[in-house]
Every structure is written in C-alpha cells, then in structure tokens.
Amino acid sequence: MEKTGAEILVQSLQEEGVEVLFGFPGGVVLNIYDVLFDSEIRHVLTRHEQGAAHAADGYARATGRVGVCMSTSGPGATNLVTGIATAYMDSIPIVALTGQVTTALIGGDAFQEADIVGITRPITKHSYLVKDVADLDRIVHEAFHIARTGRPGPVLVDLPKDVTSARTVHHKPQPVELRGYRPNLKGNPKQVKLAAEAIRKATRPVIYAGGGVILSGASEELIRLAELIQIPVTLTLLGLGGFPGTHELFLGMLGMHGTYAANLAVSDSDLILAIGARFDDRVTGKIEEFASNATVVHIDIDPSAISKNVQVDIPIVGDVKLVLKELLKELSGGSGQWVKVRERWLKQVRAWAEEHPLSYTPSKKKIKPQFVVEKVFELTKGEAIITTEVGQNQMWAAHYYKFNRPRSFLSSGGLGTMGYGLPAAIGAQMGCPDRRVIDIAGDGSIQMNIQELCTAVQYRLPVKVVILNNQFLGMVRQWQEIFYHQRYSQSCLATAPNFQKVAEAFGAKGYTLTHPDQVEPALKEALASDETCVLDFHVDREENVYPMVPPGHSIRDMLLGRGKKEVEKKVSIADRDKITG
Amino acid sequence: MRHTISVLVENKFGVLARIAGLFSGRGYNIESLSVAPTLDPTVSRMTIVTSGDDRVLEQINKQLNKLIDVIKVWDVTQKEFVDRELVLVRVEVSKDKRDELFRVAERFEARIADVGERSVTLEATGDEARIEDLIRLLKPLGIREFVRSGRVAILKSEQK
C-alpha cells in the first residue's frame, strides 16, 4: 500500500522503538505533525528547539535509548545546533529530524531555508538530506543504527517538505548494511594479553574511566575488575556513576577539579588503565606531565581516540564491556594475592585522600552551595538522576553527590553547555518516570533555557530545579578572582529575576531560601511533591570550587583553597596566556 | 613529511564536503586533491596529498576512516606506488622561438594540445619532479597559464 513520506517516517520511528519525541512544529514539518496527531508516539512540545535537542540528549543519557528531536527548517533547525554539538562532544545517541524547504527551492534562499546538513557537518556523526521518498525508510533505519552503535553520536536527517508529502510503498526494515561503517567491537586478543601482563607487573596502577563505561553498560565489569586486581579508580566527569561513588576503591574525579588523591595517584602511577575516556585537556592538565612515568593502556571503541592526545603504549580498540570481559578472563584465577600486593599502594592513595579530602568551611549563617548538594544526596539516598548546568554548580554536583549507579549524572562535559540541565531533566523524567530528577543549576545557567519550565509544567513532570544562586557567573568570577586580579568583568548578576515568582508564573512551585536551616525542610517538601519545583538557594556569594588546577599546569599543582598557600603555586602572567577555556 | 593518501568513498553528494571539512576543521592541510569515479560507479576514489608528522598522519587516517561514507583509506606513501600528475601549459611564444619550445616538449614527451597564432598549449604527464622540471624550462619562454591536475597514485601490486 502506498503511503506518504510523513507516514513512512512515523512508522519507521515506531519500528525503531521510538516512544517519545521532543520537538517544535513549523511550516515545512506540518505533514509530519499531521501524522503525529494520530500516532502513539508521544510528542513533547518544548518552548525552544534547543530545549528539544537537550531533552532528547537527557532522555538518551538516562535511558540508554536513542533520543529523538524534531524542528522545522531554518531557525528551527539552527536552534538545534547547540544541542547537537553537546551530544556530539559527549558521544550521545540522538537523531535530529529537521524540516527542509521543498527540494525545488533548495539553494534559492527560500523562506526559512538553511543548509542545516552543511551547518551541522562537523558536529554530527553522520547526516542525510532525503531527496527521494523511496530512500526515506532506509535512511531512518540507518540513522538510528549509526547513532546507537560504535561510538554513539548524533545523526541528522533533513526532510524536504515535498518528500514528506510524496507517496510510495513502505518497505519492511532491512538489516542495515554500510560498507564504510563496521565498528570493531571485539578487542584484539593479543592486545588484551599484553594489557593483562602490564597490569600484573604494575605496582602503582590506576583505572581512569570515562563516559564509555556508561555508554557500553560496563559498570559491573569495571567493578569486578577493580575489585579483583585491587586497583583504585578515578572517573572523568562523564564517567561519574560508572563506578560507585561510595566504593572504597573510588578516588573521586580527576583533572582540573579533580580530588587531591585522584590527581596525585594518576601523577605517581606506573600504569594507567584508561577505559572509555579520551584524555581531554580538562583531565590531563599539562599534557607532557600527565602520568609521565606510566605505561598507558587504552580501551576505546573509537580508533581515533587512541594516541590523539597522549601516546598510548597498549591500545585495545573495541567495545569496553566486551574487552573488560576478556580482560577479566585473562586476569582471573589465582585471586586473593592482589590484596597483599596492592597493600602499600592503596595505603598511600588513602593517605592522600585523608590528607586533603573534598572539603568546605561549613557556616551557620550562610548557605554553602556544597551543603545544599550534600543534602540533596542525603535526602535522595543517591538514587536520583542529577542533571547540571555548567560552571560551579556542575563541579559541586560532581563533588558532593555520590553517584552509585550509571546513567544518573547528566552533564554537558565536552561542550560545556550552559542551559543544558533543565531540558535534559525533562528528557530524563520522560524516560524514567519513576525516578526523582533534579537539575542542579546556577543562577546564570538557569536563565539560558528557563522557558522550559513551561514544558515541565505542561507535562506534569515533577522535575526539581535547585538553583545555587550566588548572583554571579560563579566560575567566571572564580577565574577572575584567581587569574585576573579580582576584576569581575561582566560576571556579576546582581540584577536577576525573582526565581520563586518566575516559577509561580510558569505554574510551578517556587521557593526562596536564604538560611541554612531552611535547606533540609524545603528540599524534603519539594522532593515529596509531584509538582515541578524551583528552589532558589541564596548561597555564599564568593565560594570557590576546590581543588583547582590552574590551566597549563600539571594536575599535581592544585590550589586547595583560599589562603592554603603551602600548596598554592603562584600563577604567572605567562600562565594566564595559556588559558584556553 | 608529504604523504599521498588514497581514499575510496561512496559516490554521493556531500562526501567531498565532509572530507574537505574534516581537513579544515582539524587543521590538516591539503596540497592537492583529485576525485573521480572508479569501475564501480557507486564508488569514487580520492587522491589527497597532505603533509604532517607521523602522529598527524595517523590521525588523518583514523579520522577519514571514521566518516561513514569512507570505505577504505591507504597511505600509499608507505607502499610501492606509481604517481602521476597531468599539466596543461599555454606558452605565449612567437613563431621564431617555437623550435626551442618543441625541443623541450619532445624531451618531456609532452603532447602539443593546441597550436594558435600567438600561443602553444602543451600537455604533459609525469611525477611531480618531472612536472616541476618542465615548468622551470618553459618559464623563460613565457608561460601565460598552467593548470595541474593534482596527483593521482596507484599501488604497484595488490597489497593489503
């Protein structure tokens, strides 16, 4: 039977198991919206297309399924760009469907025309412009296949209006066959053996794991490996939850805002076992001094991640879960001896952790932002899904919430997108209706996509927004304090809306909290509520995130707090010039 | 060091843009690039001349392989290969000086592609050094325009 392109599209989405779609309609996608009107797919109307892209991303991170977003052509499509780039940098599987002007008009500067395939080429894993309705079902299935397999990532499908109205016969989905795309899943057994040997020989090994562990669902294998060989584990921002935050072998996050123990352990190690991580500059600090005495084993599904930033001694290209299984086979047998072998190293590592644990100065008068996050952790027993914005709020969430489960910490790591947290929370809540979803936000970031409160209210999503309000762009101010002689250029947000009233105006519940004693009762009340809630915590304005590694320095060189001069290294003007972010 | 990379790609629109975008976006340079369909009309071959140290070349290779539309990549510089370039040169030369032009052409086995009132167009193929030599000898005679195809290369035998 003949069907229209729009019908074929929606049917193909259903064949891919799509249950929810985040989008915003417009002229050239009306054919599709007309079919969606009767479809079982749930459409979530965000209030800005950027929100739709982040919601699809949050849905994907929380559920492990492919997130889908849709927009019209031109400005609708360009509004998706930041969301697509966010997903690309963090290897998140989303499919972005964009409307396009009629094929006959393409290239003629038609109304709401933008070359979105061209614009997004460097920030998508792949993209399609569908020119013939006969290709449509095949392309949709290819798009989902590419998005979810290998190193996942966003795929864009651009749909001209005449393609969605044209009629043809819909084909049953065929197995996708792409001769230029065959990700290598199984690690080379020789390399796995080499890695096992290196691990056996090492005296000061550290596991450095990232988002790849979560993407491949390898947390269990990671825990088994760490426990079997008694190796301490540090995680990247994106890896949080991939290894339990309360595990005795867990060192905390590493890098620019890594813990003292993690950064020193990595610096002093003789073997780095990098698993699904990519040696980002925020992790390595000064690259020449990163783990300079260590043999580097790197497990990653993306061959181009190997030796991109740090020269790898033993690369293993493959799916993290499969490779870890092989590695476990190689290393198991003769267990028990490792506890003794590792005694000295673990003692050293624990001594560092005790010497300088994550800490802040509690206050009875001012709300400390770290205290708020600690309370959120306590009251949710570590079971919530936490999304973040970007900046200090993100780092405090990473430090003071202990993630014991994968897919619980959703944060824009690679691109560092302010305005990510709220729409991502909406996507996560749509995918996980039974979990508590909390956006830990700053007063600056939350204003970037605050319109999505309306979306949360419309769909009765009990998302909680915890604003750590310091009336500053806090991380910018922190850098200006430390590197720019406290010249707070354009980082002061003293003029701000009353967030409680904003929440109420959108139909959500709002709170303003100014005293530490209010923190727990307010959180308790909000967490028990089924409403969308915004909690505006007026926190200590000039609190900083520590530890902090000045840019361009080895991750050994940490500032541990204001006035903690014994470790603080003077940051010169030359260092300032190296600032990249 | 300079490398010649041979890339088999899907013969679809937009593939050239992906490859050009990859090179510019990641800061790799392209000295020359030529594209044409292969015996299989759904596949095209690109020959790209680029330069960089071993690490850069390794990344170029891996990044190219990462593109969905790229089927296979060889760095032919590391193998036994033959490479050629085609050049078309229009030399503006008065009739009395043409003998010298023809002598140069003969020495380089260049064909006369066109003879006009005021100019002669030569067509020559060869490896890069040979083309450079030809141009050097023709320059004093008055090159008005020359067009090079960019390098194409082929392996000397079936290799993995």
Look-up: residue for tokens 């020193």?
Answer: A264
Going from the C-alpha of A251 to that of each of A254, A365, A459, A554, the distances in angstroms are: 8, 31, 39, 18
Quick one: closest CA in B to A145, which residue? Answer: B68
Q: Is the domain of B6 the same as that of B74?
A: yes
| Position B160 in a domain | no
Q: What is the mean pLDDT of the segment spanning A506-534?
A: 98
Instruction: Say whether pLDDT at A3 is over 90.
Output: yes
pLDDT of residue A282: 92
Using the 3D structure, point to which of B26, B54, B78 is the last residue of a domain: B78
> Rounded to an integer, what distance in angstroms lies between the CA atom of residue A489 and that of residue A484?
9
Indicate which of A139, A179, A300 best probes the interface with B, i.e. most B CBs within 10 Å of its own CB. Answer: A179
On the question of a common fold for A2-169 and A369-538, the answer reads yes
Q: Is the domain of B72 the same as that of B117?
A: no
Q: Is the domain of B26 the same as that of B8?
A: yes
Q: Which of A68-77, A438-447, A521-530, B91-100 has the lowest mean pLDDT?
A: B91-100
Q: Is the domain of B37 the same as that of B73?
A: yes
pLDDT of residue A565: 47
Whether residues B67 and A180 touch (CB distance < 8 A) is answered with yes
User: A574: pLDDT confidence band, cut at 50, 70 and 90?
Assistant: very low
Instruction: Say whether pLDDT at A577 is over 50.
Output: no
Q: Is the domain of B86 the same as that of B128?
A: yes
pLDDT of residue B95: 82
| Residue type at position A327 | L
Q: What is the mean pLDDT of the segment spanning A489-507?
A: 96
User: B160: pLDDT confidence band, cut at 50, 70 and 90?
Assistant: low
Distance of CA A129 to the CA centre of its chain: 28
| Residue type at position A404 | N
* CATH number given to A189-355: 3.40.50.1220
pLDDT of residue A568: 42
What residue numbers bound the domain in which B105 lies? Answer: 82-154
Task: Identify whether A112 is a catalytic site residue.
Answer: yes
pLDDT of residue A572: 39
Residue in B22, B58, B71 closest to A180 by CB: B71
**What letter does residue A105 receive in the DSSP assignment?**
G
- Short-list A8, A1, A32, CA closest to A134: A8
| Position B58 in a domain | yes
State the smallest CA–CA distance between residue A180 and chain B in angstroms: 4
Q: What is the mean pLDDT of the segment spanning A160-165?
A: 98
Q: Is the domain of B8 the same as that of B74?
A: yes
- CB distance A418 to A390 below 8 Å: yes
Q: Per 3-state DSSP, what percentage of chain A is helix, strand, and coil (rounded to 5)? A: 40, 15, 40
Give me the phi and psi of A24, to 5 degrees please: -150, 125
pLDDT of residue A157: 98
H or E stretch including B87?
strand B81-92
> Rounded to an integer, what distance in angstroms lies between the CA atom of residue A552 and that of residue A517?
41
Q: What is the pLDDT of residues A310-334, one digit of tens each?
A: 999 999 999 999 999 999 999 987 6
User: A337: pLDDT confidence band, cut at 50, 70 and 90?
Assistant: confident
Task: Identify whether A499 is a catalytic site residue.
Answer: no
Q: What is the mean pLDDT of the segment spanning B135-160?
A: 88
- CB distance B29 to B10 below 8 Å: no
Whether residues B17 and A303 touch (CB distance < 8 A) is answered with no
> Rounded to an integer, what distance in angstroms lies between the CA atom of residue A576 and that of residue A479?
10
Q: What is the mean pLDDT of the segment spanning A296-305?
A: 96
pLDDT of residue A248: 96
Burial class of residue A274 (count of CB atoms within 10 Å of its CB; 0-12, 13-18, 19+): buried
Angle between helices B54-66 and B15-25 (to 10 degrees): 150
Q: Which of A157-161, A170-174, A353-357, B132-136 has the lowest mean pLDDT?
A: A170-174
Which residues on chain A are in Cβ contact (under 8 Å) with B44?
none
**CATH number assigned to the domain comprising residue B66:** 3.30.70.260
Which sequence spans correspond to the domains of chain A? 2-169, 189-355, 369-538
Q: Is the domain of B60 the same as that of B86?
A: no
Whether residues A122 and B21 touch (CB distance < 8 A) is answered with yes
Of the options 3.40.50.970, 3.40.50.1980, 3.90.850.10, 3.20.20.70, the CATH number for the domain spanning A369-538: 3.40.50.970
Q: Is the domain of B73 the same as that of B104?
A: no
* Cis before A547 (ω within 30): yes
**CATH number assigned to the domain comprising residue B139:** 3.30.70.1150
User: A564: pLDDT confidence band, cut at 50, 70 and 90?
Assistant: low
pLDDT of residue B79: 86
Q: Is the domain of B36 the same as that of B99?
A: no
Q: Is the domain of B99 the same as that of B150?
A: yes
Give the mean pLDDT of chain A. 95
> Rounded to an integer, what distance in angstroms lies between the CA atom of residue A283 and that of residue A563?
25
- Short-list B111, B99, B107, CA closest to B141: B99
Instruction: Say whether pLDDT at A160 is over 50.
Output: yes
Task: Identify whether A430 is a catalytic site residue.
Answer: no
| Position B102 in a domain | yes
Instruction: Say whether pLDDT at A570 is over 50.
Output: no
Using the 3D structure, point to which of B28, B50, B78 is the last residue of a domain: B78
Using the 3D structure, point to which of B19, B48, B78 is the last residue of a domain: B78
Number of neighbouring beta carbons within 10 Å of residue A457:
17
Quick one: closest CA in A to B26, which residue? Answer: A122
Of the options 1.20.1430.10, 3.90.25.10, 3.40.50.1100, 3.40.50.970, the CATH number for the domain spanning A2-169: 3.40.50.970
| Position B16 in a domain | yes
Which residues on chain A are in Cβ contact (under 8 Å) with B17?
118, 121
| Residue type at position A206 | V
Q: What is the pLDDT of residues B135-145, one digit of tens each?
A: 999 999 889 99
Q: What is the pLDDT of residues A352-389, one digit of tens each?
A: 999 999 999 999 999 999 999 999 999 999 999 999 99
- Token readout for A94 is 């989303």
Which residues on chain B are in Cβ contact (under 8 Å) with A179?
71
Q: What is the pLDDT of residues A243-287, one digit of tens each?
A: 999 999 999 999 999 999 999 999 999 999 999 999 999 999 999
Q: What is the pLDDT of residues A120-151, one digit of tens each?
A: 999 999 999 999 999 999 999 999 999 999 99
Going from the C-alpha of B152 to that of each of A48, A378, A420, B35, B121, the distances in angstroms are: 49, 66, 47, 9, 22
Task: Please tell me the total count of domains within chain B.
Answer: 2
Task: Identify whether A1 is a catalytic site residue.
Answer: no
pLDDT of residue A334: 63
* Cis before A122 (ω within 30): no
Task: Identify whether A49 is a catalytic site residue.
Answer: yes
Give me the phi and psi of A514, to 5 degrees please: -125, -10
- Token readout for A275 is 């698993």
Q: What is the pLDDT of residues A521-533, one digit of tens each?
A: 999 999 999 999 9
Q: Which of A11, A19, A112, A348 is catalytic?
A: A112
Look-up: residue for tokens 């691990």?
Answer: A199
| Position B159 in a domain | no
Instruction: Say whether pLDDT at B85 is over 90.
Output: yes
The pLDDT > 70 percentage for chain A reads 96
| Position B61 in a domain | yes
- Short-list A547, A415, A314, A408, CA closest to A88: A415
